[in-house]
Structure 1
Amino acid sequence: MTTETSTTVANPNGTLSTTDYAKPVRTRRGTAWADLDTTLRRAADGTVAPAVTSSGLTVSGGGSGPLATITTADGKKLAVTAPFALPVPSLAGDTATYADVLPDVDLQLTALPDGGWRDVIVVRTAAAAANPKLKSLHFPVKTTGLSVATDAAGNVSLKDAAGKVRLQAPTPFQWDSTPAPARKAAQASPQGRSGGDADEASSAKGPGSGAKVGKIGIRADSSGFDLTPDPATFGKGTGPWFIDPTISADSASAMSAQVQEYNPGTKYADSVSNLGVGYCGYSDCTGYGRERAYYRISINSAIYNTPTGAPAAPTVYDSTFYASVTGASSPSTSTPLGLYWTGAISSNTTWSNQPCNGSGTFGGCTKVGSSVPITGTGPIAFNVTSQMQQAAANHSPDWTVGIAPDDENNKLYRKHLANNPHITTNYDLTPSIWYPRTSPTPGFASTNQHNDCQTPGGGYAWYNPGWVGANQSMGLPPRRWTRVGLVMQPA
């Protein structure tokens, strides 16, 4: 009953609880499950790798070889080499830092749970930003079983022979470290794409609340990725400056996606750690407009499948959707957030290609219950009992939802949400007793045959009573089924 995205536990009162996540939280290692752990470790061959990721990831331990290589479970592979030779990195948790790849330029690589990575080039001084080697950056690539393409919006996709997207990279961005202007206490501005509290400074994690953010030009084909920082903003303003491409793996069962009105063609499927919702009206945005967060959550079939021998399907008692608000544009403003039942999302979901594209709040999609207010950051929960009961009745394999504030045009309502919310469903299975049969089995001396189901009387042959020999202990044991899924044979 355990999967990459789901866990089932037995409760003290005898019921069961299944928790389904929007992203994988574990993966198979041999015959056992292992929790995902992106902590980087050095291998005996000098390379670096995270402890446990969904797809295999190998990171450079220094030298001129690939910066990072991702290998899927079925052998598809992408290797990306940096534009410069790499020193031996320092490691801190999930991040490897290659110091001074150019004068006053570092490269930071962060492992992602799906086996992808973010590599951020940190340019510490204006003199370093003027280095001609940063005007255009060529990342050579080598693929196995994948083709590389980019679209007009700068999204990179890697597809298998069947045309299915297996890996992707959203439009890359750059930002500076311009501090936020002084504001009144009641005002605040949000963290950038990575989320965070108001007034946070720029870092490799994302732009600060006052940062100037711009798109990076990109071209991608089978030979590599070519990134061209925007000369109108790169090296201007306040340093350090950050250049941020990301590679992520596509999940067949679960997904998160952010869409942005001001970047209508950019694809953010499974590539943003904290998803923006509400109106982005601050300088750290790459434009002004609305943002929405979508989540596709797999539903463990244990909540609706009838186990062998059980008299009925499970009964869903209650279900709750849990999310985490990680950033707030105005931490002191109470913000009502709504949950919406949407259509399907995919790796191609954008603002221009989203399931909720009508008029009204969240594009006219159906709202689930009432809005839930939250001030600042922290956990938030929605009652989704009736929706999961319906999903169980329909044997739905997944459920896709979206989150947005009630007023999508109020910049004080802008929030950031973690990319892995979950649904916990409590349910039960009715124990049953059936198939009582006489033991020892009655038999017929005339034919030397036995039949365990004989009823005296009547004109049919099967109504003729069988006999049990004298001086034997007799019983009427039934078969039994319990919620732990065991069918007990007659003793």
Structure 2
Amino acid sequence: MRRRSVWGPVSRIPRLSRGPGGRALAIGLSVVLTATIADWVATPPAQAAPPPARAEASATSEVLERPDEAAAVTTARLTGKKVRIGGMTSETTTAAANPDGTVSVETAVEPQRARDADGVWKDIDLTLRAGPDGRFIPAVSVVDVYFSAGGTGPLVEVAGSGRPLTMSWPGKLPTPTVQGDSATYPEVFPGVDLVMRATTTGFTHVLVIKTAQAAANPAVRTVELIVGAGVELSELADGSVRAMAGGQVVARSRPAVMWDSSPLTLWPEGSDVMTGSGPVGEAVVVAGAAQSTPEGPGDGARVGDVQTRVAGAGGLELIPDPSMLDGEDVSFPLFVDPSWSVIAAKWAYANSINSNWDLGGKTWVGMNPYDGTLYRSFFEFDMTTIKGKYVQSASVEATLYHSWSCSPTWVHLYRTSNITVASGARMSWSTRPLPSATWLDSAEGNANKSGGCGANQPDMVMQFSRAELTNDVRQAAENNWSLYTVGLCACNPQGQFETAQDRWKKFYTNKTKLVVTYTSKPTVTARATVPSTACVSGGGRPYINTATPQLRAQITDPEGAQVRAKFEWWVTGGSLIAGTTVGPGASGSWLAGGIGFMAGDVGASGDIYRGWHLLLAGAGQ
């Protein structure tokens, strides 16, 4: 148990001149404040208790709300109900006080909510609608993005606190067809559509090349978008592009990729998926497998790189892979992105061939059935709200969209170092080695969407909540970490089973969350001793002339919970002798404890060397 000294370090007390009764007394008094709740008085269980229900996420009239943590905790205690903490709500985080005095916080990787025009939090709704000027905007979004209604104005504008980012098409745009989060501009080139789509963190622009004849058009070999004045583009080493204005990053793209519409196929039993060798026979198309769309590649899609190049006068050139444009084995339509993020939502992936891929709003884990490539996924959570808190429980929730298998298979959670690329981009396979990172938990699940299990299986929330995870998050909070990063791998801690096909899975990026229940640490706001002495350490420490001293402390719990104190009496530099627990008392009350000397405690010279520890407990324990 780590302790932080309040009264100074405990050390040997210098000898004292003779006191009443002829016996020399030298008593060292010191208080050590622990970071803490009631469980610190008793030994914590090997397994963390299941986390309380998640904090309420949506604004409804039935949910109680208070502006700050202290008011919410008080209301929760009085009503016996969970109370949302309005001042702790953000785009990615919600918090609620529980009736037992604890606070539960839920932090997502991607934005979950945004304020409407009246300042009220609403769930993200990316459905496009026409704004006052005719341009199309998402209904509820953290990103102020505007798509053209057609004509010669900017194709897209992203407004912000600084200079807006605009991109324009080199010609006149047709009137778009709007459906859901997407605006489709038909025939921007013969046989080519342009699809603009709003995302939780920005937008994407995707060229849809519908035929081989369209792919042969020189206009699609190099496509240039014009960026508005005052915004400077720069190409980064990983293939992404950064947009800056006034010295600030206003947006960043993922490395651009392209994909075709090839279906997922299965080879005869015994064939090698990597080489196509094996028994003679034709591959069978999997009818229920995911198909390619502007959102991302299907399960069987061929994928190629798109070169990005910053041109003069604010131009951004996209150069699709010629081998895919001209390939005889590609299936049309072809899709050419990239996507842009305006805010810092953090997830990333790595694959064993170190190749860029558009994952279509999902994270992939395990061996891709199309080409045998291994995938791992990573998520980064903001720790701001739980810095310095005592974490009672922690869990990571990841919602499974699809699994190769019809029955549950395993996936493992590890704590890793932080993400170093743009959100949704690829990290090098070798820089995030798993399973050599800190193992936290494993879970099993299935959600097959291929139709091969008789019917499409529903999404499944997979929860990771072992004591190893709670302990690790607790340590991160105590150490005031700003970020907490985890990785998902099909591999177990021994590095096995990552190539097992039945462990292939896809997870939603916007439904991955860290759920933490914490209590704030009580503090000693005042202290005193009987007899009264100053707080001094080392050779200048005071002497007292009683064998039954008393230590008093005023203890305050930030959430207003009752507090206890355990005073420990121990040999300076030696072992614990005894202790006494005082309380419960109201937050802010004085608690007192003392222990008389025990027989045999006097040193050979007549000196007595003793020190105190104070263990604090909150939340009424």
Shorter-chain TM-score above 0.5: yes
- Alignment-mate amino acid for residue 439 of structure 2: K
2:437 corresponds to 1:365? yes
- Indicate the residue corresponding to 2:180 in structure 1: 93
- Alignment-mate amino acid for residue 61 of structure 1: A
List aligned pairs for 1:101-180, cutoff 5 A. Answer: 101-114=188-201, 116-144=202-230, 146-151=231-236, 153-160=238-245, 162=247, 165-180=249-264
Larger RCO, structures 1/2 (Cα 8 Å, 6+ apart): 2
Which moved further from structure 2: 60-69 or 153-162? 153-162
Q: Of 463, 468, 474, which residue of structure 2 is paired with 1:381? A: 463
Q: Structure 1: 5+ residue runs without aligned partners?
A: 190-195, 306-313, 436-457, 459-477
**Residues 295 and 360 in structure 2, CA contact (< 8 A), matched pair in contact too:** no
Q: Of 131, 155, 161, which residue of structure 2 is paired with 1:43? A: 131
- 2:524 and 2:499 map into 1 onto residues whose CA distance is 59
- Indicate the residue corresponding to 1:316 in structure 2: 391
Which moved further from structure 2: 317-326 or 388-397? 388-397
- Indicate the residue corresponding to 1:327 in structure 2: 402
**Residues 172 and 246 in structure 1, CA contact (< 8 A), matched pair in contact too:** yes
Pairwise CA distance, 1:4: 2.5
Pairwise CA distance, 1:409: 3.3
- Alignment-mate amino acid for residue 425 of structure 1: V
Pairwise CA distance, 1:338: 1.0
Which moved further from structure 2: 230-239 or 39-48? 230-239
- Indicate the residue corresponding to 1:399 in structure 2: 484
List aligned pairs for 1:123-272, cutoff 5 A. Answer: 123-144=209-230, 146-151=231-236, 153-160=238-245, 162=247, 165-183=249-267, 199-221=289-311, 223-234=314-325, 236=328, 237-251=330-344, 254-263=345-354, 266=356
- Indicate the residue corresponding to 2:505 in structure 1: 415
Pairwise CA distance, 1:141: 1.2
**Residues 124 and 239 in structure 1, CA contact (< 8 A), matched pair in contact too:** yes
2:374 corresponds to 1:290? yes
Pairwise CA distance, 1:336: 1.7
- Structure-2 change in CA distance of 1:151 and 1:197 (3 Å): farther
Q: Of 82, 104, 109, which residue of structure 2 is paired with 1:17? A: 104
- 2:269 and 2:126 map into 1 onto residues whose CA distance is 38
Pairwise CA distance, 1:432: 11
- Alignment-mate amino acid for residue 421 of structure 2: S
Pairwise CA distance, 1:263: 3.0
2:145 corresponds to 1:57? yes
Percent of residue pairs identical: 29
Deviations 1:452-471 (A, max 9, x none): xxxxxx9xxxxxxxxxxxxx
**Residues 342 and 355 in structure 1, CA contact (< 8 A), matched pair in contact too:** no
**Residues 264 and 370 in structure 2, CA contact (< 8 A), matched pair in contact too:** no
- Alignment-mate amino acid for residue 131 of structure 1: N
- 2:462 and 2:270 map into 1 onto residues whose CA distance is 23
Pairwise CA distance, 1:353: 8.1
Deviations 1:126-155 (A, max 9, x none): 3333333222211111253x4211245532
**Residues 194 and 207 in structure 2, CA contact (< 8 A), matched pair in contact too:** yes
TM-score by length of 1: 0.73
| Partner secondary structure for residue 233 of structure 1 | helix
List aligned pairs for 1:327-476, cutoff 5 A. Answer: 327-328=402-403, 330-332=404-406, 334-347=408-421, 350-352=426-428, 356-357=432-433, 361-362=434-435, 364-369=436-441, 371-376=442-447, 378-383=460-465, 384-406=469-491, 407-420=497-510, 421-428=512-519
Q: Structure 2: 5+ residue runs without aligned partners?
A: 1-87, 274-285, 449-459, 492-496, 527-531, 533-553, 562-585, 589-621
**Residues 421 and 427 in structure 2, CA contact (< 8 A), matched pair in contact too:** no
**Residues 354 and 428 in structure 2, CA contact (< 8 A), matched pair in contact too:** no
- 2:447 and 2:249 map into 1 onto residues whose CA distance is 37
Pairwise CA distance, 1:297: 0.3
TM-score by length of 2: 0.59
- 1:484 and 1:87 map into 2 onto residues whose CA distance is 62
- 1:432 and 1:424 map into 2 onto residues whose CA distance is 25
2:525 corresponds to 1:483? no
- 1:432 and 1:155 map into 2 onto residues whose CA distance is 48
Which one has a bigger Cα radius of gyration? 2
| Partner secondary structure for residue 138 of structure 2 | strand
Pairwise CA distance, 1:368: 0.9
- Indicate the residue corresponding to 2:79 in structure 1: none
Flag as ranges the 4+ runs of structure 1 deviating above 6 A. Answer: 184-187, 430-435, 478-482
- 2:203 and 2:350 map into 1 onto residues whose CA distance is 20
- 2:341 and 2:505 map into 1 onto residues whose CA distance is 23
Pairwise CA distance, 1:44: 2.0
Pairwise CA distance, 1:14: 5.1
| Partner secondary structure for residue 263 of structure 1 | coil
- Indicate the residue corresponding to 1:449 in structure 2: none
- 2:110 and 2:238 map into 1 onto residues whose CA distance is 25
- 2:152 and 2:131 map into 1 onto residues whose CA distance is 17
| Partner secondary structure for residue 476 of structure 2 | helix
- Structure-2 change in CA distance of 1:366 and 1:54 (3 Å): same
